[in-house]
Amino acid sequence: MSEEPQLNAAQLEAVTTTEGFVRVIAGAGTGKTRALTHRFAYLVNDLGILPGNILCVTFSNKAANEMRQRIRRVTGDNDTGYICTFHSFCVSVLQEDSHAVGYPQSFLVLDNADIDAMLQVIYDERKITLREKTFSKARDMIEILKTIERPDYYIDLISLPLAELKQKYLDARKVDDIIFYGYLYQQKKCFGLDYNDLIIITLHIFDHFPDIALKWQQRLEYVMIDEFQDIDALQIALMEKLVEYHRNLFVVGDPDQTIYTWRGADVRYLLDFADAHEGCKTILMTENYRSTPEVLGVANSLIEKNKQRIPKRLEAQRDVHGPTVWYHAKSPEEEAAWIAEGAQKLHEAGVAYRDMAVLYRAHYASRAVEEALMQAKVPYTLYSGVPFFGRREVKDALSYLRFVAYQDDLSFARVANVPKRNMGQRRMAFLREWADEHECTLYEALEQTIDDEIFKRTKAKQLLALVERFRGQFEGRAVSDVMAAVLNESGYDRMLRTEGSQERLDNVAELKQSIYEFETTCGEEVTLEHYLSHVALLTNADAMDGAADKVKLMTIHAAKGLEFKHVFLCSMSEGVLPSKKTRTREQMEEERRLAFVAMTRAEDGLYLTEAEGFTHKGTPRYPSRFLLDIDPECLMFSHKPDQTALEAARAAYAANDQWIAGMSTDVRFRQGSRVRHAVFGEGIVEEIDMQKRAYIVRFDGLDTTRAISFRVKLEKA
């Protein structure tokens, strides 16, 4: 093991206990990621295990990239095996074995923009309006149906012939059914899989094709999983399946950093892991190497207020001291100005801007800070808003790549008229009709009808010529090279230059750069299929450019796993953090963990800020209860909070707690639950309206939803 400094005793134990079930419960900043990297290196360098026989699951693609680079440094080997997220691992499985369910190797991984494009087709065909259901609501509904209501949906998706799926879609009468079957039909047409499908279909293959399951089980001699506190039921099922043969499983997590319960994560899997796996060894890590004793004092005293937790205290290993401040401002503007000024002062004292971060609970909190930073001429980047891979020009560029590779309907629809080729709605509708009638793709329809009158005076022929030029030319050619060529030859580059948007040009340049980096860091040779299926999984965080000297602004969720010298945690007001959407005691504890995650990102300085004034609803704004949870001995105050104000704040927390206590007993069903009403019959809870104290239920027998008061007894269906 070459990387300095030395591992501590607990880390060493985690690294060298390779056989059987091992669980590491570790605090923030105690070197989990470091232990994981070294364990990988130990398996490879000291035990001689082949990297291709190790699966190391990370929480995000960004974490996977970093891990891969670190492992390459310590093993000196380009082959880094499977270091990836669960989703990305499933893509690898499906690329090898999706033939088992009749899917081609060139299946598509769909992101939200792709799903929206499919919804658009369905809405147009069946005259559904956005007023009936926005795309985002439709996507949520599809997700609820897939994960809770109709978990067997995927059988239809993989085994029904296209014509039958289409018939189900055409026969559907209720809006939700039209959307759902329309979507499944669209998915099947282009062999597209969304996030929900990836794990479910992989599991299905493992369950029904024992030889394929055995192949993967035998291949993966060692499995390691990071951030285990945020694992969900499907991921657990996949994990259990994968380790059935060798039974070597190493999981590491921090119960105090569970922040994804709202997405189905359950910390129980980590807590119950030892009971569920015979002979499991547990290792505890509490020595913190990241933060000053002051930062840990703040974080420890906060998290101790959670009731549902395994007690543990982070112990500072660093003997460097730094500020931990509560700044109370008179207005949000003053709060933001203080942050901007603070960043400037730190910079003057020699701290690089890139080593500072401003974190917040919700996106909207960033606006005031951004304005202040702009005014103070402090450089910053925002890691939120429209994700990089969701930007129009980035999607367009990727669609071109997909188009020359697959000619699927989605990419065809996206690129056909960008740049303008006179292929507007009327001509697209013509192609759709033709394709439907002849059961072919839009591209094939164009090939067949290119000499039709309708395509005179269009540049449709150029589109066909473009594909012809690229067809069969990918083998052995770098993806970055293909991308550059297709953007040039399609006229897309020229269009952007004429349009003159520097931002769009920069984004495309950034995309080209990221493809190049992907190729050079991936180890093995990157094929176009490989790149396309992985890029769909990339998130905003992946585009994060850590090199530029700029202050980083991001949500706490996005800061998971990161560390910064100085952290400003802004908008620490009751109703923001904890969020006003907090409805149960469990959720309140999760909000506290969120604050804990934010604070434990700080190495040298931590600045907690909030402002008085009024919320947009006109109620007074109070400091977050979490500020009062912190041991005051651990904080420096900009102003000592005044006693009457504190009493008013405490009264507000108490009122809120009382409301939550009432809610917890009232709310018996979750979004997506199936319920039975004495008169209306069965239906599904679409929303829970806390203000009205009612479930918004879509009953099977009614066309529109009804708000049903908590007072009326509903039964579980």
Catalytically active residues, by annotation: 32-33, 226-227, 257, 601
CA distance 553 to 383: 6
Question: In this complex, which beta carbon is closest to ligand ATP, that of residue 33 or of residue 407?
Answer: 33
Question: In this complex, which beta carbon is closest to ligand ATP, that of residue 23 or of residue 133?
Answer: 23
Nearest distance, CB of residue 378 and ligand ATP, angstroms? 25
Are 36 and 227 contacting, i.e. CB atoms less than 8 angstroms apart? Answer: no
**Residue 598 burial class via C-beta count within 10 angstroms: exposed 0-12, middle 13-18, buried 19 and up:** buried
Per-position DSSP letters for 326-378, written without gaps between them = EEEESSHHHHHHHHHHHHHHHHHTT--GGGEEEEESSGGGHHHHHHHHHHTT-
Nearest distance, CB of residue 660 and ligand ATP, angstroms? 28
Give me the long-range contacts of 625-629 (CB less than 8 A, separation at least 24).
Answer: 625/574, 625/578, 625/649, 625/653, 626/302, 626/572, 626/577, 626/578, 626/591, 626/592, 626/595, 627/326, 627/572, 629/301, 629/302, 629/305, 629/592
What residue ranges in 438-593 does DSSP mark as E strands? 551-555, 564-569
Report, in angstroms and rounded to the nearest whole number, the Rg of the chain calculated over CA atoms.
27
Output DSSP code: residue 596. H
CA distance 510 to 545: 10
Mention every residue, 6+ apart, whose C-beta is less than 8 A from residue 191.
103, 104, 106, 107, 108
Nearest distance, CB of residue 367 and ligand ATP, angstroms? 28
* 279 annotated to bind ligand: no
Question: In this complex, which beta carbon is closest to ligand ATP, that of residue 3 or of residue 240?
Answer: 3
Sign of the CA dihedral with 200 first, then 203, 208, and 212 last: positive
Question: In this complex, which beta carbon is closest to ligand ATP, that of residue 378 or of residue 599?
Answer: 599
* 276 annotated to bind ligand: no
Q: What share of the chain is helix, strand, coil (3-state, %, to 5)?
A: 55, 15, 35
* 385 annotated to bind ligand: no
* 520 annotated to bind ligand: no
CA distance 29 to 256: 12
Nearest distance, CB of residue 603 and ligand ATP, angstroms? 8
Nearest distance, CB of residue 73 and ligand ATP, angstroms? 13
* 17 annotated to bind ligand: no
Neighbouring C-beta atoms of residue 309, cutoff 10 Å: 17
Nearest distance, CB of residue 382 and ligand ATP, angstroms? 22
Instruction: Look at strands 551-555 and 356-360 and give their pairing.
Output: parallel
Question: In this complex, which beta carbon is closest to ligand ATP, that of residue 31 or of residue 293?
Answer: 31
Token pair of 425, please? Answer: 């709605």
Q: Which residue is nearest to ligand ATP (CB)?
A: 31
CA distance 463 to 457: 13
Could you give the C-alpha distances from 348 to 321, 352, 353, in angstroms and in order? 19, 9, 10
Nearest distance, CB of residue 295 and ligand ATP, angstroms? 12
Are 596 and 385 contacting, i.e. CB atoms less than 8 angstroms apart? Answer: no
Provide the total of helices (H) and of strands (E) in the chain, helices listed first: 30, 22
CA distance 317 to 431: 67
Question: In this complex, which beta carbon is closest to ligand ATP, that of residue 342 or of residue 561?
Answer: 561
Question: In this complex, which beta carbon is closest to ligand ATP, that of residue 32 or of residue 552?
Answer: 32
Mention every residue, 6+ apart, whose C-beta is less than 8 A from residue 524.
78, 79
* 31 annotated to bind ligand: yes
Nearest distance, CB of residue 232 and ligand ATP, angstroms? 19
Token pair of 232, please? Answer: 């969900």
Question: In this complex, which beta carbon is closest to ligand ATP, that of residue 149 or of residue 287?
Answer: 287
* Strand (E) or helix (H) holding 393: helix 392-406
Nearest distance, CB of residue 61 and ligand ATP, angstroms? 16
* 30 annotated to bind ligand: yes
- Residues in contact with ligand ATP by CB under 6 A are 5, 7-8, 11, 26, 28-34, 254, 289-290, 561, 563, 600
* 662 annotated to bind ligand: no
Question: In this complex, which beta carbon is closest to ligand ATP, that of residue 145 or of residue 296?
Answer: 296
Binding residues for ATP: 26-33
Binding residues: 26-33
